[in-house]
Amino acid sequence: MSSQINVVGAGLVGSLLGLRLRQKGFDVRLYERRSDPRKVKRAEGRSINLALSHRGIGPLKAAGVYDQVAPYLIPMKGRMMHSKSADLTVQPYGKEGQHINSVPRSQLNKVLLEAAEQQNVEVFFEHQSTEVDLDMANVHFSNGNSASGDVLIGTDGAFSSVRKSMQLTDRFNFSQQYIEHGYKELHIAAINESFALDPNYLHIWPRGNFMLIALPNFDKTFTCTLFFPYEGDVSFASLRDEAQISDFFSKYFPDIPPLIPDLIHQFQNNPTASLITTKCDPWHRGKTIILGDAAHAIVPFYGQGMNSGFEDVRIFGEVGESVNWNWNELLPTYSKKRKRDADAISELALMNFVEMRDHVADPKFLRQKKLEAAIHDRFPKDWLPLYSMVTFSDMPYSEALRLGKIQGKIMQEVLEEGKDLIPEAMDFREIVERYKARK
């Protein structure tokens, strides 16, 4: 295995991929347009905390780096909803002991880069790719350098320069869609060296067409993210001065101003960023392929962006092993195999935005979730809730989406029948059999 592999993009997916390929015996070079993140202070307001779960943990363990990441993880065992009157409601994510983990992007990237370098992966920063020869796996950079190899892999994000070269080729399909919402991050400092909120939950302030969330950080702070329309009567465009910002938070999030004394300053100075979904097909051209956000950028509402990218790395390796690392076979096989699941998690992420900002405060939705949990408790092998399929299993995303739609239809039928209002009238086995018949 003497192939020379060049990876453009040394973020989370690229650094993990480079590490795993090096562990398989390949010579690997990573090229990153940014400066070394280990030497640069992170810009405030542009992180979107990450939620590491089952699909991402497995590849980290396989790479032997999970133990270095673990100290930075904070387990979140469910959602904690904040009403306008500051009432709290908890929704567990799964069964007892199941949780997702808040993790800082910058620290995770540092761990992966250091692990890659320790395995003799060469990493080159401040290398912005400008021209790619897809068939020859060659890449040129803005600083005048170039690189050639046997395979070129683009893991350079949603606005991938490698993918842009593919877009210039014949019969390459590409689409991008911005949602009407943007996001702005806010920072909740520690209070007396302690968390200001319960750190073991993902906090959500659902408000119909918009929402605020907060994830804990290992330094006892919280990163809040406001997902909010760009335009409209209640939107970023409508909050133009200090009074409007103050009135908005007092009305919709009254428990936030006491937690963020400099709220108005943060709101006015932290950037507002957009949210994009991209899809393309195929993911390979010649000796070049794209993985992660470069191939399938998604919105963050299922917490699966990073996890799906790490799963890309796992599946890419599995396909590689199955074809004995025959690159001519590996690239098209992986591209075809993974595409359907990438489209599925893209759809699931958009669906979950509606759930998080609106449905979690709907009594009917809460009845449905309570009923699903009860069915799963009684028939754990026969009924696995959609969230658990996505977050706590390796089930293909496309299969989870298919089964989740069947479950959703059955739940709607049961709720319309009204039997859930009379517990003794519930026949869980009948519901499970109905589900089995439609699977």
Please list, in sequence order, all residues whose beta carbon lies within 8 angstroms of the beta carbon of residue 178, skipping any fewer than 6 positions away: 274, 275, 276
pLDDT tens per residue, range 328-351: 999 999 999 999 999 999 999 999
Residue closest to 392 by CA, chosen among 69, 55, 124, 11: 55
Q: What is the pTM of this model?
A: 0.94
pLDDT tens per residue, range 204-246: 999 989 999 999 999 999 999 999 999 999 999 999 999 999 9
pLDDT of residue 368: 86
pLDDT of residue 288: 98
Rounded Cα distance between 262 and 23, Å, is: 47
pLDDT greater at residue 392 or residue 368: 392
- DSSP per position, 36-93: PTTSSPPPTT----EEE-HHHHHHHHHTT-HHHHGGG-EEE-EEEEE-TT--EEEEES
pLDDT of residue 362: 72
Q: What is the dihedral of CA 144, 150, 156, 162, to 10 degrees?
A: 70
